[in-house]
Each structure stands twice: as C-alpha cells, then as structure tokens.
Structure 1
Amino acid sequence: MRGSGVPGDPQSGQARSGRTRSGRDRSGRERDFRARRGAVTGARPRVAVVGAGITGLTAAFELLSALPGAEVTVLEAEPVAGGKIARHRADGYTVDLGPNGFLDNGADTRALADALGLGPRLRPAADAARERFLLRGGRLLPLPLGAASFAASPLLGPAAKARVLAEPLVRPAAGEETVHAFLTRRFGSRAAALLAAPLVHGVTSGDPWTTSLDAAFPRIRALERDRGGLLLAALRGRLLRAAGRAGPPPRLTGFADGGMRVLVDALTRRLGERLLTGRPVTALRPAPGPGGGWLVETAGHEPVRADHVVVTVPAPAAARLLAPRLPGPARILTGVRYAPVRVVSVGYRRRDLAVLPRGFGYLTVPPEPTRILGVVHASVVFPDCAPPDGVLLRAFAGGAEDPGFAELDADEAVAVAHRDVTALFGPAAGPEFRHDHVWPEAIPQYTPGHGARVRALLDAVAGVPGLHLAGAAYHGVAVNECVRDARRAASEVLTALRAAVPAPLSRGGAPGPRDDTPHHTPRPLPRHEEKQRDRHDPDPLRTDGTDRSGRRGR
C-alpha cells in the first residue's frame, strides 16, 4: 500500500533494522530456525507469492508476521500492486475503482487492518447510506427495511406479498440451485423477478439464472438450512437486537482519506523490497536437486527459487501456470468465466442537481430501459470522497449479461451514465468530473457445480508439495472472503513448514517454528469446508479488490 501517514507502522523498516515489533533481536531467531529446518532444505524458508492483489498481499503479510526470517517474494505483473483495489483522484474527488469497503462483520479484514495499525483510519458508511433503492418504472423505490414498509411498498402487489409471507412454510431443497430458482421456490415468481437480478448484479455482476446460490451466497443457503428460512432469520435478528442480545446489522466500512487503497498501500509498505512489480510470472517448474521446491520464472529476470508457491492470480492466469504439469486442475481453472465490469464515475455540483441523491444507491430491475446495472451514491456513503459542494456517483455496467458495454467508447459510456443521472436527479449541465474505467475480467462467475469443482481442484493441488491456490475464484469474491482465503493459504504454508522440521529438534531448548510469531499470527482455517460467515459486500464490484483481470493478482 502506498499512501502516507498511516499510524503505527512498526515494521516499515524491518528489512533494514533486523528487529521485530517487540524489539527483540531477530538474527538469533532466524539462525535458530535455519538450524532446525536446515536438515530438510539447508536454508531458511522461501515462499513466492504470485500476484499482488489483496489476496497475495495479505498472504505475504501473514507469512512474514508468523515467520519474520522467511524469504518471501511477491511477484506482480502490473506496475502497481493492489489488483481491483485501485483509486483515482482528481479535482477534489476520490474514486474507488473497485470495492469501496468491506462489511464489518468480517473478522479477518478488521484483524488485518488492526495489525497494520489502520484502526484509527477505519470509518463506517454514513448513517444516511442505510437506505437502498431499486430502479423500476423510472422511479427509485426504497427497499423495505421492516414489516410496515414492506406492507406499504409498491414493489409487489397483494398476492405477491402474501406469497412472500408464506416463505417460512417452504421446505428446504436438497440440491444445488441457481439464485433465480431459489428465490422462485421460496418467495414466488413475482418476487424472484423483482429481486434476483439486483441481488446478483450487486455482488457478482452475473446472470441470476446461471449463478449458483450455494457457491455465491452460501450464507443465504445456511439461513434456509439452519434458521427455517430467510424471514424467520430476519425476524429473529430484529428481536435479538431489540432485546440487546445481538449487535447491529453488518455495516460497510472503509478508510478515511484514501478509500480502500489505504489498505493496499499499508501492505505494500510492509512488504517493501519483497514486492516486485512489473514481473509477470511465465512458468512454474520443479526445482532441480535434492532440496526440491519450485523455480518461479519471470520474463527477463532470473527465476525465483521457493519451497512454497502461493498462486493468487485470477483463474485464467493460474490455469496457464498449472497446465504443463497439472492439466486436470488447469482445465477446472480454465472453466471459470469472468464478467467484465465498467465503472463510470461522474461528479456534479450540488447546486446543479434538482434532486440530491439519498441512501447508498440503487440497483436496476429488468427490463428497465437502461444498461446501467446500478449506481452507488458514493458521496452519501463516504462524504469525504467529494468536495463539500460536490456529489459523486459511481455507475456500474456490463457484467455477464451485457459484456458489450465494456467495448463502448469512453465518451459514450459517460453519456449513458449522465443520461440516467439526468432522468433521476435532473442536472442542468454535464458532469464537472468524469472518470471511466474498464475491468475486462472483473469478477469470477460461480455457476452450478462451482463448489464441487473447487473442492476437486484444491484436493488435487494439495497433493503437489509446495503449491497453493487462493483468491476470488474459489470461496468468495468480496474483500472479506479474499482476505480469509489468503489466511487459509498462509496457514497451509506454515503447517507444511512446521511439518518439515524434525520433531526432536523442534522440541529442544530452542524455540520451535510455532514460537516464531512476534505479533500477528494467522488464524488456522479449514482446507475447503470453512463456512462463509460474512455477508457479501453491497458494492456492485465485488472484488474486494482481489484481482480478477488476468494480470493483476487477486
């Protein structure tokens, strides 16, 4: 992470000073670990991380936090790290080009921010952003937040509302379902027609008819299985909160003065010279000699030798690296499709708008005559992203159902966004600020069978010593999920390194590898079966910034 002024950055000079955060001399600890592991590899542990999106950066940070003496090298094809967590600043506006936050019920991202000393810079979305809307019939209609607002909402007629209220009587399904099929079964066809597209567009920009609910929204499936349905779960949560026995609903959280890029900048500073940008990895080869390991080849540079390689690039790039030696897993990765997303940001003076935007933003209900999937009222969510008299709107378009929007001329794309803004908020003139960005391979699409394919893929890779996969293509596309997957991969590497240390040596007087944790230690996570506890972030571009572009790592 680039950026400046991050409080509490005790590791920023760690590579030069040779001291840990606790102030203990590190050289003795490193020699001790090398002595123990030398019987196996003859050197201190070496790990290469391929890709410097949020997943790769987090994995590297976790490994260095647990093993400060390890040689960790992060290789990124692009000139700048961060993947989909990117930022544009101009004329007083700050635009997150990918995710603009994470939900605060995700312990992993919050723990990462705290470990980086970023706690004081965390900021929740403004209270004014709690309201959300659907665009239907040319009007912004609020999503009901309770029983009274649901009864009065014009989004559904009386018969459709009665069918929704019967949802607790619907029995759980046995097999996998698409999002549209699930909503139809539980709430009826009219509610599904209203909700399926906005739900999927707001998370994966995918097609509700082909998006697996079980893979993309496992928490919703868990509510059906464990809580008797979505309505009963929502009612139970409201009652518990009213009784003071449960906390508030999850809230979008970002970073002051810089947006989500603050997190990436802090990570890149911690990694320092270990992070090599402009280094596309071209091949992975088994290293010759008795020590084993891998040679990570990059264009125009000497190969990097590593005991373990953590591959965090998007599925297509990972498939190319695995194909020569693991054709089966590579075929699975090749089958993961990505949806393109275009982010068109426009800024206006408040005085130029007839109506000021309210709430978090809106998602479009088909067949509304617009190509915009949704709009985030960015300056309502985080007021510091626009000048005091400015209004910033981020429009998202393209996705799996309209990939051609990514091919439009930039002026045409901005004109589409401005036309929609004019219809809803009535600006008298064009935007004073505009920015257009295209992610050609933005978000992996979780189609039916995704979960089974991922389990088969990771089981196959688990049989290859020193090779690990992590990123948005596997267990979730939001920031929380990518950070959690990075910690899973880091935990795998640490477990393998500890297993390589001869038991008698690790039980001797010298501290074993498990003691090589001066501060932040990754929380062990299960291999595949970890439950997806977090809700998906409501930001339409769900990459919590892990790269899915095929070049930037996630």
Structure 2
Amino acid sequence: MCNANILIIGGGISGLSTAWWLAEGGARPEVWDAAPRLGGKIRSHSESGYLTEDAAGILMNFHKEVDQLIEASGLSDKKISRGTDMRRYVVHKGELRPVPMKLPALLASPMWSLRGKLRMATELLVAKGGHERETVSEFIRRRLGSEILEKVMDPFIAGTLASDPDMANAWAVLPRLTALERRYGSFTSGMFINRVLHKKGRANIAEAFSFLGGMAQLTEQMAAHPAINTRRGFKAVDIEPADKGGWRVTGVDSQGIEITRRFAQLVISTPAPAAADLLNPINRELGKLLQGIEYAPLTVLHLGMVRDNIAHPLDGTGFLAPRQEQLSFNGNMWMSTLFPDRAPEGKVLLTSYIGGARHPHRCSWSEQQMVGNTLHDLRQLVGVTGEPEYVRRVQHTQALPLYHGHYYERTESIRSQLGKHRGLHLAANYLDGVSARDRIIQGAITAQRLLNSRQSVSRKPAAHVNPAVVH
C-alpha cells in the first residue's frame, strides 16, 4: 500500500473543479472515477452536423473566479458568449410573450393585471422577513405577489432546476435574491445598489456563455491539468480511517484488479447515493442523511429542424412553460440561436426539458410519445411544420438533487457529522448549488480548505471565495 496526499472520488465537474484549484495551488491531486470518461453528466455530442449537450448547455456567471479558471485553463479562445439583447420568452395563455429584464418594461408588459403590476412595483415597501425553511413560492408570493410566481418564477424553477417551487428551499435555490433581502431589506433596492457598484467597477455583471465544441470543453480542460492524475474506469469500493491518520481507500479497475492506497485527505464528489454507500460503514448517520437526498428525473430532448419549417423568428434564448399552461415540457431552448455550430446551415436545434420534480412520470414516456407531444406544443407555439430530421434523447434517472423541504437542517446535520472525520470532505451538487458556476466556486472553496490544512506553504494558493456574498 503506497501513500499519497489528496484523493478525489468522482470526476464530474465538482471533483474536477476541486482538483483543478488544488493543482493551481501547488498540490498534485488524484481523481478516481468509475466511468470510462470524466465530466459526469456534462457531455457534448456531435452528430449529423448537430452539437448537443447531455446536461448543461450554458454557463451563467457573475463570479471572477470562474473567469480566472477559464483564462488560466486556456479556454478563453473557445468561449462564446450569448448576446445580451436576446429575448427571453414565457408561455402566456397559449402564446409566447417576451419577459423584459428591466423593471419599467417588465411592469408595462401586458401579461400582468393592474393589481399584479402594483404588487410588483411596491416590493420596495414590503417588510423584510423570511426564514431558513421558506419555500420559493412563499418567498416570491410574499415579496412580489402570486402573478409573477405563477407566470415567471414557477417555470424558471421547474425549467432550470427541475424543481418544484412549492417545495424548493428559497435560501438554497434563490441565494442571490434572498441574500439581497437580508442585506438591504429589499431586492429591488439591492439590485439598484449593485448596478451602481457595477458602474464603479466593484460588482460583476452576469454573463451567459458556452464553448466552441460544447460544455464538455470545460471539464476536459480541467482534467488535462498536468498536475492532476486521473484514473478512469476505477471505482472506489471501500474507505476507512488509516491507523496513523489519513484514509485508506480501496478501488477496483475494469478488470477487477483491486488496489488499496493511503491518502492524507479524501474528497468525495460522487452523487449522494454513491457517497452514502461509501460512508455508511464508518458513519451510519451521515450515510442515512445522504441517502435521504432526493433527485429529480429529467429527459433532454433535442430536435433538429429545417429552419424554413418554423414560422417564429427564434429571436431569443427560448421559452419557459408555467404549469398552468399544461405543456408537455418545462422549457425549450433555441440552442442554434444561442451559439454557433449547434446546427448545420439552414437548420435549427430546439432542446426541450421534460419531467423534473413537477412531472417525473413523463420521463417514462417512450421516445415516440415525447417527440409527438413536444411537436404538438411546438406547432402551436412557434409554428413548426413537418417532422424533425434529427432526434436525440438523453435520459437522466437522477438528474439533479432537489433542495426541497428542510434542506438547511439536513445540510447542517451533514456538515456536523462530516466534522467528526478529520481529512474527509464532500464536494458535490447536493451541497451549495447545482449549476456549473456553483460547482467551480465550491471547488475553489474546498481546495482552499485542503491547501490550508497542508503542512507546507503552497506556492500559489487557490482563491478564497464566498458564494454567499452578494455581487
């Protein structure tokens, strides 16, 4: 049994981000992943001239640390930004309506009743409130009223997080908005102050982008760091505290060959069920807490269409579907409008997200049912005629962890149990955010914690960041 310094179990974006920041800080981490490829659910697929994504198709960022990673990893030349003036649509009474991003235009939209407009306009006057168990629905209804919840926030939470706003924890799912309320008493005033700070160069503005070649460029570039040693197709099957400190970890390769090694620090970056299996033997309570984390199923359906067979100008990012509209999907993104090289010349790529916590049963539909139901809705909403020339379906039985119910109590209990084990860390999307941006930031935080615990002084420490700070 040989000794090493840091092992990361799980080579998705959480594990790779942690490894990358560690490597930048002077460490030489090792990453084990049971799959034959790294990147987790992030995967880009090129076929018949279409470039599709298995999971995240866009990265929304407002943290300088993400920019730092992209520049330092050599991805700047491949970064492609979404246009800032692109429209965002929502379905309202069976039609697509643009959702303005500026408050005056938002209030002037015909989607709202007079009462709804007045309710939104007076958010500044609503007393500060809320608590750690408040749901998204309760938070938005309390501050902005029911109309914006039903017409905008409900489809946003379902479409982007596969979650249910009636159950989702507001502090966890809407950290920026809830933090603005806690800090300024109102997120209307908070947004105004942040805009002033941005003009003075003290705050970051949000930017949405992807990469030439797809989102997989991000994870592939992180994994390619020369200081990171990766083992693919290598599954961790047992962990236990080592006699003289650190962790003894046993792994098995694809040929069934078993290897046991000792590491000073151990980071588990697998989904919660796999983490629970590893941790149950050493801490049954921690394993139980992790096993209780729910995941939503989600199907990503890509349709390649002839551009001339669609009446709508497709002049935006796509649209989201409120539950009251009773559509077959949660949202539809116009990927070929967002970024180049997503579809052949004269064709378009429309990507729908089906299922989630709101409609998990829809993930059991056959491909024929999914395509048929999706086309039925697209014909009415964007004027699709004819049939798709390209279809690709990606099914995730456990797509995203749900920050539902007593999320904060559960995560606090997880952290409490974790604190009993020196040199053991968790870095995964069931803690502190599911987006690629969140995972990069949390990777930096985890890496900093490990670097600080090392005996020797790192030659290039990872950035110390705090995602709870409002930018």
| TM-score class, shorter | over 0.9
Q: Is the 8 A contact 1:126 1:382 kept in 2?
A: no
Provide the C-alpha distance between the structure 2 equivalents of 1:235 and 1:307, rounded to a whole number of angstroms.
Answer: 47
Contact 1:206 1:339 in 2 (8 A): yes
Q: Which residue of 1 aligns with 2:145?
A: 188
Shift of 1:210: 0.5
Equivalences for residues 49-128 of structure 1 within 5 A = 49-68=8-27, 70=28, 72-127=29-84
Equivalent in the alignment of 1:298: 252
* CA 429–324 in structure 1, closer or farther in 2 if over 3 Å, else same: same
User: Any idea what SS the aligned residue of 2:8 has?
Assistant: strand
Q: Does 1:280 align with 2:220?
A: no
Equivalent of residue 419 in structure 1, options 339, 351, 376: 376
- Report the Cα distance in structure 2 between the residues aligned to 1:324 and 1:464, rounded to whole angstroms: 13
Q: Distance in 2 between matches of 1:305 and 1:372?
A: 47
Structure 1 Cα separation of the partners of residues 97 and 144 of structure 2: 19
1:486 has 2:443 as partner: yes
Alpha-carbon distance in 1 for matches of 2:247, 2:197 = 52
Give structure 1 stretches of 5+ with no counterpart.
1-41, 499-512, 535-554
Partner deviation per Cα, 1:137-192 (whole Å, 9 max, x = no partner): 21001112334423431211111111111211111114231000111111222332
Letter in 2 for 1:487: A
Q: Output the CA distance in 2 between the equivalents of 1:80 and 1:327.
A: 31
d(CA) in 2 for partners of 1:196, 1:146: 16
- RMSD of aligned alpha carbons: 2.4
Q: Give the C-alpha shift of residue 423 in structure 1.
A: 1.6
Return the alpha-carbon distance in structure 1 between the equivalents of residues 11 and 469 of structure 2: 23
Report the Cα distance in structure 2 between the residues aligned to 1:411 and 1:111, rounded to whole angstroms: 44
Change (3 A) 1:427 1:275: same
Displacement after TM superposition at 1:45 (Å): 4.3
Instruction: Report the CA distance shift for 1:228/1:106 in structure 2 as closer, same or farther (over 3 A).
Output: same
Q: Which residue of 1 aligns with 2:464?
A: 524
Does residue 373 (structure 1) correspond to residue 327 (structure 2)? The answer is no
Contact 1:318 1:330 in 2 (8 A): yes
SS in 2 for 1:384: coil
1:351 CA displacement:
1.6
Q: Which stretch of structure 1 is more off in the superposition, 149-158 or 429-438?
A: 149-158
What's 1:546 paired with? none
Shift of 1:438: 0.8
Distance 1:533 1:78, change over 3 A: farther
Question: Any stretches of 5+ residues in structure 2 without a counterpart?
Answer: none
Shift of the alpha carbon at 1:331? 1.7
Note if contact 2:140-2:149 (Cα within 8 Å) is conserved in structure 1: yes
Distance in 1 separating the partners of 2:3 and 2:281? 28
Q: What is the one-letter code of the residue matched to 1:224?
A: E
Residue in structure 2 matched with residue 334 of structure 1 by the alignment: 291
2:89 corresponds in structure 1 to 133
Q: Which structure has more strand as a fraction of its residues? A: 2
Structure 1 distance, partners of 2:195, 2:21, is 36
| Corresponding pairs, count | 467
Partners in 1 of 2:11 and 2:57 — Cα distance? 18
Deviation per residue, 1:290-314 (Å, 9 max, x gap): 3553223336221232221110011
- The change in CA–CA distance for 1:89 and 1:305 in structure 2 (over 3 A counts) is same
Shift of 1:387: 1.9
Quote the Cα distance in structure 2 between the aligned partners of 1:493 and 1:476.
20
Identity of aligned residues (%): 27
> Is it true that 1:157 corresponds to 2:100 in the alignment?
no
Give the deviation of 1:525 after TM superposition.
4.7
CA deviations 1:501-537 (Å, max 9, x no partner) are xxxxxxxxxxxx22444xxx312356xxx51647xxx
**Aligned-residue offset at 1:53:** 0.3
- Residue 321 of structure 2 is aligned with which of 357, 364, 373? 364
1:26 aligns to what? none
State the shift of 1:43 in Å: 8.4
Bigger shift: residues 447-456 or 203-212: 447-456
Number of the residue aligned with 2:5: 46
Report Cα offsets for 1:53-84 as digits up to 9, x if no partner. 0111121222233235x4x3211121211012
- Aligned-residue offset at 1:52: 0.4
- CA drift of 1:237 comes to 4.8
Contact residue 322 and residue 330 of structure 1 kept, 8 A: yes
Alignment partner of 2:30: what SS? strand
Aligned to 1:541: none
For residue 371 of structure 1, give the secondary structure of its aligned residue in structure 2: coil
Range 177-186 or range 444-453, more displaced: 444-453
- Output the TM-score relative to the length of structure 1: 0.79
Q: Could you give the per-residue CA deviations for residues 295-342 of structure 1, whole angstroms, max 9, x where no partner exists? A: 233362212322211100111111111111111211221121111111
Kept in 2, the 8 Å contact 1:344–1:394? The answer is yes
Counterparts in 2 of 1:216-255, with a 5 A limit?
216-237=173-194, 249-255=205-211
Distance 1:339 1:139 in 2: 28
Larger Rg: 1
In the superposition, relative to structure 1, how do residues 232 and 438 fare at CA in structure 2: closer, same or farther (>3 Å)?
same
Q: Which residue of 2 aligns with 1:551?
A: none
- Tell me which amino acid in the other structure corresponds to 1:162: L
Instruction: Give the match's secondary structure for 2:166.
Output: coil
- Deviation, structure 1 residue 268: 2.5
Give, in angstroms, the shift of residue 238 of structure 1: 5.2
CA contact (8 A) 2:3 2:262 kept: no
Deviations 1:461-487 (A, max 9, x none): 133122111111110111111111112
